């Protein structure tokens, strides 16, 4: 009888742990917004929109202005993994990949602050405007999200390249003029 009670207690404890784990990590859909959506905290992007030339780098600054009464939050950025963007992030940001997609996450933010994210855009990036979603993620359903734009512009040729191209056109014009005579 003692063995039966011991096994029953162990089985009950395992079931209780499984239920607690399921409650702590609810499956609410395909993005962070489905979990962290109670409006806690606020964040802005400086500058908005951020413009970066293809083949160049820039710095995204996320201004966390409020934690919404929570002791701490994590800032998570989604949308930088788009193939046409060809972005590389450096600094103290952790790359995360999960069932809801990929994101870059900060460490714990326990007071309003500005977080910087150095970002490099590959020379093969397609010019355009890309939506970037910023999440403030707290415990349970705490948090909020904001949508910002990252604009990639075409690379502008260096002055030396323009000079050489111009000299080539002048030479072609002179050659054509000489042949006419």
Q: What is the CATH number of the domain that holds 127?
A: 2.60.40.10
Of 154, 136, 153, give the one whose Cα is nearest residue 145: 136
Measured CA to CA, the distance from residue 2 to residue 92 in angstroms comes to: 54
Q: Does residue 165 lie within any of the structural domains?
A: no
Q: Is residue 16 part of a domain?
A: no
> Which stretches of the chain drop beneath a pLDDT of 70?
1-40, 100, 140-143, 157-158
Q: Is residue 170 in a domain?
A: no
The predicted structure's pLDDT at residue 45: 78
In Å, how far are 100, 129, 158 from 86, measured between CA atoms?
Answer: 20, 13, 22
Looking at residue 140, its pLDDT comes to: 65
What predicted TM-score, i.e. pTM, was given to this entire model? 0.63
* Burial readout 125-152 (b: 16 or more C-beta within 10 A, e: otherwise): beeeebebbbbbbbeeebbbbbebebeb
pLDDT of residue 36: 52
Domain tally, the chain: 1
Q: Shortest CA distance to 134 belongs to which of 64, 68, 81, 70? A: 64
Please report whether residue 152 resides in a domain: yes
Range of the domain at 54: 30-159
The pLDDT of residue 93 is 92
Q: Is 176 among the domain residues?
A: no
- By the 8 A CB rule, do 157 and 98 touch? no
Q: What is the pLDDT of residue 40?
A: 62
* 77 domain residue, yes or no: yes
Does the residue 96 lie in any domain? yes
- Helix or strand (DSSP H, E) at 174: helix 159-180
Residue 179 lies in a domain: no
């Amino acid at each position: 009888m003692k063995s039966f009670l011991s096994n029953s207690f162990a089985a009950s404890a395992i079931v209780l742990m499984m239920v607690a784990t399921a409650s702590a990590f609810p499956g609410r859909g395909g993005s962070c917004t489905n979990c962290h959506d109670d409006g806690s905290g606020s964040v802005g992007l400086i500058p908005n929109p951020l413009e970066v030339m293809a083949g160049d780098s820039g710095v995204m600054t996320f201004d966390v202005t409020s934690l919404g009464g929570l002791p701490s939050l994590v800032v998570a950025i989604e949308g930088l993994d788009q193939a046409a963007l060809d972005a590389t992030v450096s600094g103290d940001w952790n790359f995360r990949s999960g069932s809801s997609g990929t994101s870059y996450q900060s460490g714990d933010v326990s007071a309003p602050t500005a977080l910087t994210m150095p970002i490099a855009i590959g020379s093969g990036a397609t010019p355009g405007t890309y939506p970037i979603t910023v999440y403030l993620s707290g415990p349970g359903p705490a948090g909020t999200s904001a949508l910002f734009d990252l604009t990639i512009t075409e690379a502008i040729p260096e002055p030396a390249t323009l000079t050489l191209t111009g000299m080539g056109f002048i030479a072609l014009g002179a050659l054509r003029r000489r042949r006419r005579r």
